[in-house]
Structure 1
Amino acid sequence: MSQVVGFFIYDEFQTVDLAGPLDAFATVNELLAPREAYKLITLSADVIPVRSESGLKTLADDTIARCDVLDMLVIIGGRGCQKVIHNQSVMAHLQRVAANSKRVVSICTGAFIVAALFPERTLTLSTHWNFTEQLATQFPHVTVESEKLFVQSEEVYSSGGLTAGIDLSLSIIAQDHGAAMAQQVAQYMVMYVRRSGDQRQYSSLLSAQQTLSQRFQGAIDFIQDNIDKPLSVELLAEQASLSPRHFRRIFTDKMGLSPMRFVQHVRLEKAKNLLCTTNLSIAQISVMTGFGSPPLLSRKFTQAYSVNPTQFRENFTLEAK
């Protein structure tokens, strides 16, 4: 029997927050056809088109007032979320539907609406990293995860911004249909990697690309392309056409950590991805990430994440199951 999943949208919703998860669940239906795993519907406050932040007009399948029971209520994020919170009639209907849903899911700033739906509950929520302080201030009863891609708090699931909604959807798909199905969906959607909830919303590489000047881009690309090889400040400085001393000083000033500490962060992020998405041995991963030996990888990994690589992989597998 298929699960009924309702996506609540409103004026100034975020298009990717809807399209990403919607396509992820729809892909399961395609892969299982003719069986329908999820019956997907869109819901809004009125029987009129709503306009997304980017200007896309969408006519929902039904209104939240006419909605009875859902297996999963998915609340999409967007600039218009605050207006929804202050609409007492809409919030009353959302509370009724949420109370009868097996899962309540928020994407990005949809967490603000979810927090308002459960004022008496102590929830742990994730949202877009740019809005975590606002969420914590506006809703003191909520524990906000500022870095995690997604979290689960009993029947309430929440994700960080934009593409993190796809990662959360894949995690739910894994719970319902197994990790292999989630992996198939990720491959079908041409995702580079299926990320676990414990991963940060933004990577070290992305942060470096945003923070450092174009002159350093050669060094960043060199790190990414040679992460399995021995790297030194001298090698990286050469890519930026700077002396090692000058390179180290500017890099540390801009990033808040030394070049070699940054390299270690990138290596650990790649190790986490490989642990989650492959069956490679710890020895193989230690070589591919430049640590060279399992003991060194295990020591650095445990120092960073308070769990060794084997335990991290087991935890991820249990989450998927």
Structure 2
Amino acid sequence: MQVASAQKTVVMVLFNDVLMLDVTGPMDVFSISNRLLPREKHYQLLTVADCQGLIRSSCGLKVHADMTLENCPAGVDLLLVPGGPGAYGVTHPALSAWLPEAARSAKRFGAICTGVFLLGEAGLIDGYRCTTHWNYVDRLAQRHPETRVETEQIYVVDRNLITSGGITAGIDMALAVVAEDHGKELALEVAKVLLVVMKRQGGQTPYSPLLAAVQRDGTVIARVQAYVVDHIEEPYTIQRMAEIAAMSPRNFARAFQREVNLTPMQYVQNARIDHARKLLEGCELPLKVVAARCGFGSARHMRKLFSERIGLSPNQYRRQFGGE
């Protein structure tokens, strides 16, 4: 069945263990838009699943889809796949078989959060740029090497594919769609109703650590990483870290970059920023004290590196993530 309507049709896919915020966040953006639009320009909102029964979400809420895969119209304006444990933890043969044709016939298709794994399972993201929740970008890149995974953006648009970062980023993505369809002014009004901003500062980077937890497995490189993290206030050079590893500076630098995918000094810088973030989140110490405890040397140097890597100044980060 082909969609034949002046209204734009948005179809949201449902499956067991779906994250409800991934579903309701974007759908409410379109629903609130309908309150502000003339009827002939309303979004037609539909949900689809591979079964007729109740779908149990990851939080326990149960929902019933409007239709099954076989009855879903072709040629919709936007086909969206939400995320959740059911998107990346299990396979969905019926969805994987249905999605390619449904996506090809849609004017635009996309995913919220980890829903991109379902698109990947269906072979729909190779050759595209996309994103997902910051905690899953490495997993997505490893699983789909033909895909260019963007790690910082809240959402990414590449041709007819639109993907978003984690959970509430689906709201940002939906607001961008509304702005494109009906203008920024309407999208801003919807954002005000939802008490969100139209464009967040800093993308996903402020939410994600720059470094993974140190694997304290006793290897030479891991030992150096652990020493840096445990003694972050100390000054470091390649020579100093090579001495800790009992290696020549040249061999150490090569081995470190091969294992960590960062130069030793990049690692130190990222470790200092991550430690500063923890202090800014949990205490009211003056910036010069935070800078000293993290080995930056000065608050000015910390501000410079923070802005370059995080996209926020230390004060902005503290206001956004610090406790009351």
| Shorter-normalised TM range | 0.5 to 0.7
Is 1:55 aligned to residue 65 of structure 2?
A: no
Give the counterpart letter for 1:201 in structure 2: Q
Is 1:146 aligned to residue 151 of structure 2?
A: yes
1:249 aligns with one of 269, 287, 292: 292
**Larger CA Rg, structure 1 vs 2:** 2
Is 1:15 aligned to residue 82 of structure 2?
A: no
Q: Given that residues 126 and 148 in structure 1 are in contact (C-alpha distance below 8 angstroms), is that contact kept between their aligned partners in structure 2?
A: yes
Change in CA separation of 1:59 and 1:200 when aligned onto 2, cut-off 3 Å: same
* Match of residue 195 from structure 1: 199
Q: Which runs of 5+ in 2 are unaligned?
A: 1-5, 210-273, 317-324
Counterpart CA distance in 2 for 1:97 and 1:135 is 22
Give the counterpart letter for 1:195 in structure 2: K
Give the counterpart letter for 2:291 in structure 1: R
Give the counterpart letter for 2:61 in structure 1: L
Deviation per CA, 1:174-220: give whole Å up to 9, x if none. 111111111111111111x2116x9421537997897227762x24x
Q: Given that residues 50 and 94 in structure 2 are in contact (C-alpha distance below 8 angstroms), is that contact kept between their aligned partners in structure 1?
A: no
1:72 aligns with one of 59, 70, 78: 78
Cα displacement (A) at 1:87: 2.9
Q: Given that residues 122 and 142 in structure 1 are in contact (C-alpha distance below 8 angstroms), is that contact kept between their aligned partners in structure 2?
A: yes
What count of residue pairs does the alignment treat as equivalent?
242
Structure-to-structure mapping, 1:1-321, within 5 angstroms: 1-69=6-74, 70-82=76-88, 86-118=91-123, 121-191=126-196, 193-195=197-199, 199-203=202-206, 211-212=278-279, 216=283, 218-219=284-285, 236=286, 244=288, 247-250=290-293, 252=294, 259-263=299-303, 265=306, 269=311
Deviation per CA, 1:129-185: give whole Å up to 9, x if none. 000010011111111001111111110000000111111111111111111111111
Give the counterpart letter for 1:249 in structure 2: A
Q: Given that residues 77 and 109 in structure 1 are in contact (C-alpha distance below 8 angstroms), is that contact kept between their aligned partners in structure 2?
A: yes
* Match of residue 299 from structure 1: none
Give the counterpart letter for 1:194 in structure 2: M
Cα displacement (A) at 1:89: 2.5
Given the two structures, how large is their TM-score scaled by the length of structure 2?
0.66
Give secondary structure in 2 for the equivalent of 1:65.
Answer: helix
Counterpart CA distance in 2 for 1:56 and 1:82 is 19
The share of aligned pairs that are identical, in percent, is 28
Change in CA separation of 1:259 and 1:175 when aligned onto 2, cut-off 3 Å: same
Give the counterpart letter for 1:72 in structure 2: L
Give the counterpart letter for 1:82 in structure 2: Y
Q: Which runs of 5+ in 1 are unaligned?
A: 220-235, 238-243, 272-288, 290-321
Cα displacement (A) at 1:260: 3.5
Deviation per CA, 1:41-83: give whole Å up to 9, x if none. 1111101111111111111111122212121101001110136
Change in CA separation of 1:269 and 1:92 when aligned onto 2, cut-off 3 Å: same
**What do you get for the CA RMSD once the two structures are aligned?**
3.0
Give the counterpart letter for 1:159 in structure 2: S
Given the two structures, how large is their TM-score scaled by the length of structure 1?
0.67
Q: Given that residues 205 and 266 in structure 1 are in contact (C-alpha distance below 8 angstroms), is that contact kept between their aligned partners in structure 2?
A: no
